[in-house]
Each structure stands twice: as structure tokens, then as C-alpha cells.
Amino acid sequence: MSRISACFEGLKKTNRTALIPYITAGDPEPGITVKLMHAMVASGANLIELGVPFSDPMADGPVIQAASERALHHHVSLRGVIGMVAEFRQTNQDTPVVLMGYLNPIEVMGYQAFAQAASKAGVDGVLTVDIPPEESAELVTAFKQFDIDPIFLISPTSSADRISTICQQASGFIYYVSLKGVTGAANLDVASVKDKIAQIRQYTDLPVGVGFGINNAEAAAQVSACADAVVVGSALVKQVEAHQQDADKITTLISDILSAMRKAMDA
């Protein structure tokens, strides 16, 4: 059983929802990333989503775009991010790690080479934002050859046929984008999220995680009532941006946010 499947199965037994924090690897500088990953686990994270810095991140709002720019300033590469996961795995063999990014760096590295290196380092899943399922067969085949879950996005505008197609390709979990917009937007409609999750569950038994627009403990608790996972990103990356020169403060503030979310979700 994969780490992702084991994570969700264990949470289901205790009637809990997964908390999935996102940070951009190498932001504000490469040395903090692994420390932050461990701190997030200690603060209640069940799975980590690690962003691969990219120069043209079309799904990301200004907060995460800026995070990519800070990381790229330090020349953080896809291979460098894989190395961070390998370092994390030296002392944590249990927490699933999903890489979130765009296709270009994977294309440059090569599907097979990337999948092999990621698997060896301990990556469990990859969410490639800009590859549609209709064009993903070669990439998905490489992922599955090395036991990596291909994770796909479903949006509020996805049709029933589209949802069915995505669910047939995906494994690990489904990532539902809770709003029409980019990361960090603040117009979360929990009732609409609940309705869409019910629709998605007609086509798959995979867990459904919800991200985009979840920026505080109250929102996390509301979404956790209907989803299998809550993904929080921009609210954390904002702390990195605000305290770039103080790694300890970044770690403390992100830990506090996640602890509050975990407490609200479990209440």
C-alpha cells in the first residue's frame, strides 16, 4: 500500500480529515525547506505538498508566484527539490510527499528519469498542473512504473464527462479546486464545494482534497466536514514572504496556523 493510501485509510478509521500544507521548495532560501517540512508534520500535517519553483506558474496567485521567484533566485531546480525530499526521508519515512508543479521541468529532465529519481527520493505523488488527462498517458505510465500517484485537478466548471475522465486517470487522491480563480483567492463557497464533492464521488472512490481559498482555521473546519483533505498554501506562504530574514519566526508562525487548523478540524 502506498504512503498516500495508508495515510487516508488511517485517517478514515478515526473519522479525521487530512491536513495538507503547501510550501514552495527553496523559499525564501533552500536551507529552510526540510526544517519546515518536519515542523509542519509536528504541527498536525498528514501529507505535504511541495511546490516546484517555476517561472510561469499559471494556476498560482501573486503570493505563490513571488515564492517561486524567491526560490528561483537561489537557483532551486527540480533535481534540487527531489534532493530536499530525499533529505526529509532520512528521518521521516511515513508522511506522504506530493510535488506540485508544471510540465516544463519534467519534460526537460525526461519522464522516466524524473519518475525514477523522484521515487528513489521518496516522492509519493505528483500534481502536474498544466497537463490535461487526454495528453498524460506517457507521463502517467512513467509515474505508475515507479509507484508514484498521478494527481489531477478538478475545477468548479468541470463537466460530468470531464470528471469521469480525470477520475479514471488519477490515483492517490483527487484535488478539487474550490473556486474559479488562482491560489490565494478569498471567495470560498462551502455549500458549492459540498455539492461538487458529492458529484465527484459518483465517479471515484479516491479521497477528495479541497484547496484554493482556505486561509484560516474556520474555513479549514468547514471544508473538512465534507472533504477528505484540506489543502492550505497561500496563508502559509504569506508568512514566508513577511518574515524572509527570520527562519525561526517563519517556522513558528506556520506551525501555529497549522496547529489551529488541526484543532478546528478535529473539534
Tens-digit pLDDT profile for residues 93-145: 999 999 999 999 999 999 999 999 999 999 999 999 999 888 999 999 999 99
Are 99 and 125 in contact by the 8 Å Cβ rule? The answer is yes
Place of cell 487548523: 261
Question: 128 — phi, psi (to 5°)?
Answer: -105, 105
Cell of 104: 516544463
Tens-digit pLDDT profile for residues 22-72: 999 999 999 999 999 999 999 999 999 999 999 988 877 788 899 999 999
Residue 223 clears pLDDT 80, i.e. is over it: yes
Are 184 and 62 in contact by the 8 Å Cβ rule? The answer is yes
C-alpha closest to that of 127 among 108, 99, 107: 99
Are 156 and 187 in contact by the 8 Å Cβ rule? The answer is no
Rg of the chain over CA atoms, in angstroms? Answer: 17
The whole-number pLDDT of residue 179 equals: 66
Of the residues 9, 27, 49, 189, only one is catalytic, namely: 49
This prediction's pTM: 0.94
- Paired with 209 in beta bridges are 175, 229
Average pLDDT for 214-231: 94
Give 135's contacts (C-beta < 8 A, 6+ positions apart).
none
Domains and CATH numbers, the chain: 3-266 (3.20.20.70)
The whole-number pLDDT of residue 222 equals: 93
The whole-number pLDDT of residue 184 equals: 47
- Distance of CA 66 to CAs 24, 56, 138, 147, Å? 10, 11, 31, 32
Cell of 236: 502559509
The whole-number pLDDT of residue 132 equals: 87
Q: CB count, 10 Å around CB of 63?
A: 19
Tens-digit pLDDT profile for residues 166-213: 999 999 999 999 866 555 455 677 888 899 999 999 999 999 999 988
Annotation marks residue 60 as catalytic: yes
| CA angle, residues 53, 59, 60, in degrees to nearest 5 | 55
The whole-number pLDDT of residue 62 equals: 87
Annotation marks residue 195 as catalytic: no
Tens-digit pLDDT profile for residues 157-168: 999 999 999 999
The whole-number pLDDT of residue 60 equals: 79
Of the residues 9, 27, 56, 60, only one is catalytic, namely: 60
| Average per-residue pLDDT for the chain | 93
- Report the distance separating Cα 85 and Cα 185, nearest Å: 28
